[in-house]
Amino acid sequence: MLRFLTAGESHGEALVGILEGMPAGLKINTSGIDKELKRRQEGYGRGQRMQIESDRAKILSGFMRGVTIGSPIAILIENKDFCIDKLPAVKNPRPGHADMAGILKYGFNDARCVLERASARETAARVGIGAICKILLAEFNINILSRVMMIGGVKSEKLMKEKIDEAAKSKDTLGGIFEVIVKGAPPGLGSYAHWDRRLDASIAQAIMSIPAVKAVEIGNAIECSAKPGSEVHDEIFYSKEKSIYRKTNNAGGVEGGMSNGEDIIARGYMKPISTLTDGLNTIDIDTKKQAKASAERSDVCAVSAAGVVGEAVLAFVIAKAFLEKFGRDSVAEIKRNYKGYVDSLKF
């Protein structure tokens, strides 16, 4: 089974990701991983931290001479801004962040103990893991991309940038919607047989796990919820050239918990960043008196970056489902299995 863990704090020495279950025989070029890490740092509205870090991945295990050998892959991403033991305590938890709930859960008297791990900095490790999954999927012509759909209630690129500039001037933050698209996935990934193997459920969990994401949509679910079934369900057609196909994709490529051969489309709805320069009302956890929330170095808007993280987590979900169906010991074995399956789909 494909699985991963990450470790590390925002201002700790490094982030670490461990990916287990990747088959042997996959060629990995670290420059491809670094390219994905750089994409995560880009986007209009990013903060000063992105100017400090220049993320590079160092693969510590799991491959020889640039090829995976089937053992767990460990990735190290060093933090240039390593100063965790020198940073001041955070006594005024930020509304909308993990600060207050984390303090209550663990009995801390310093929100620093919470925010260092809850920080979106952790997603750099997930992007590194997802980059490897993307390399595997590309071997089978499965590709993943993302785009920003809306920021601050507007949809044109020009207006989005204007909204971000306005928010920066007023010391505020913005959220929005990003879309992730998987192209080339075969039908039959996932399962209708068990709730925890439904592909759409795994996709929703993965996208929802991205910091600040508060809702997930697959296909045109929100719009379709207000329509009758006759206008929603994707009718099935056949031709010798295309075999089975659909003229619409309201389902977002997933029916009954399984991929149906169409593009898989998922959207993440991201709330505004929780750290505001002019802090919202909160309390001092020592005195219990009203105070203004602490301000950490942060972004005005990170919807574009969240889309890159969305690509990474979706790459993991699709790769996991793909390996569950077609085997996982070696790339050569998987290609044989995959070819046999694709041939069986021809009507």
Q: What's the whole-number mean pLDDT along residues 331-343?
A: 96
For residues 126 and 77, the answer to whether their CB atoms sit within 8 Å is no
Q: How many CA atoms lie within 13 A of 192 on its CB side?
A: 8
Q: What confidence tens digit (pLDDT) does each residue in 85-114 have?
A: 999 999 999 999 999 999 999 999 999 999
Q: Please tell me the distance from the alpha carbon of residue 160 to that of residue 175, in angstroms, as a whole number.
A: 11
More confident: 295 or 335: 335
Nearest to 312, CA basis, from 180, 156, 172: 180
137-142, Cβ contacts within 8 angstroms, sequence gap of 24 or more: 137/315, 137/318, 137/319, 137/322, 139/26, 139/331, 139/335, 140/184, 140/322, 140/335, 140/338, 141/184, 142/182, 142/183, 142/184, 142/185, 142/318, 142/322
CB atoms under 10 Å from CB of 159, counted, come to 14
pLDDT band for 119, please (50, 70, 90 cuts).
very high
Mean pLDDT of the chain: 95
Name the token pair of 131: 């980059």
Q: Which residue has the higher pLDDT, 296 or 216?
A: 216
Tokens of 3: 């699985």
Cβ atoms of 333 and 23 within 8 Å: the answer is yes
Output the pLDDT for position 241.
Answer: 87
**Residue 109: predicted pLDDT:** 97
Q: What is the pLDDT of residues 217-245, one digit of tens each?
A: 999 999 999 999 999 999 999 998 888 99
* Residue 218 near residue 200 (C-beta atoms within 8 A): yes
From CA 193, how far away is CA 3, in angstroms rounded? 21
Question: Which are the contacts of 117, defined by CB distance < 8 A and separation ≥ 6?
Answer: 9, 10
Tell me, what's the pLDDT at 229? 97
Average pLDDT (291-300) is 91
- Chain segment 26-81, per-residue pLDDT in tens: 999 999 999 999 999 999 988 765 556 689 999 999 999 999 999 999 999 999 98
d(CA 298, CA 277): 9
Q: What global pTM score does this model have?
A: 0.96
Provide, rounded to the nearest whole percent, the portion of the chain with pLDDT above 70. Answer: 98
| Res. 296: pLDDT tops 90 | no
pLDDT (tens digit per residue) in 166-215? 999 999 999 999 999 999 999 999 999 999 999 999 999 999 999 999 99
CA proximity to 17, closest of 38, 35, 2 = 2
**Which domains does the chain show, CATH number per domain?**
3-344 (3.60.150.10)
Contact criterion met (CB below 8 Å) for 75 and 19 = yes
Q: Do 271 and 212 touch, CB atoms closer than 8 A?
A: yes
Average pLDDT over residues 339-344: 94
Q: What is the DSSP code (8-state) at residue 88?
A: P
Q: How far apart are CA 164 and CA 175, in angstroms?
A: 10
In whole angstroms, give the CA distance from residue 199 to residue 190. Answer: 5
